[in-house]
Amino acid sequence: MQSEVMFAGFGGQGILLSAKMLAHAAMETGHEVVWIPSYGPEMRGGTAYCMVIMSDRPIGSPIVKNPQHLVAMNRPSLEKFAPVVKPGGVVLINSTLIPVRAGRDDVDELAIPVNDLALAAGSVRSANVVALAAFVARSGVVPIEALREAVEMEFARKANLIPLNLDAFNRGVKAAEAG
């Protein structure tokens, strides 16, 4: 079975890193994976999005017009990509920055104050980890423990950041379970 996840937001919100950690967790659990980043020339503050495709068999094409899932970290991303998400998918909304909803009743919408939870964990820079953990906890696209290991491995060279990011991770999981 194939799953496509679109991560979208402003440059500097850790969009590409979130997608990379999900791709890593998917590879570690035996999936075929495609990771395709896209960002504007301005990078920080500009638009950034990334597609992760995971499958239990070879992936025929990296081009996806209608992803199964969306993690929207800002309003322009929600407005642009929510309409094309396949029915039945998960749409995670960073409600700290997005005061509106997707306006769809055929998707599993999860609105979480991602930035607020990241600040509570110690740094708004961990918002991408909060969102990623909440999304995986809700969607189940990879085992949550595989994702936790991928987060730890990503920050292994900066070991002082592991406790902060694991706290953010746990806050995301709890928010998904409560939502």
- Across the range 112-122, mean pLDDT stands at 98
Report the pLDDT value the prediction gives residue 41, as an integer from 0 to 100. Answer: 63
- Band of residue 44 on the pLDDT scale cut at 50, 70, 90: low
Alpha-carbon distance 93 to 107, whole Å?
A: 12
pLDDT surpassing 70 at residue 80: yes
Average pLDDT of the chain, as a whole number: 95
- Across the range 83-98, mean pLDDT stands at 98
Residues 22-40: tens digit of each pLDDT: 999 999 999 999 999 987 6
Q: What percent of the chain has pLDDT over 90?
A: 89
Q: Which among 128, 120, 123 has a CA at the least distance from the CA of 154?
A: 128
pLDDT surpassing 70 at residue 141: yes
Number of domains in the chain: 1
Q: Which among 21, 24, 26 has a CA at the least distance from the CA of 3?
A: 26
CATH number of the domain within which 61 lies: 3.40.920.10
What is the residue range of 34's domain? 2-178
pLDDT surpassing 60 at residue 42: no
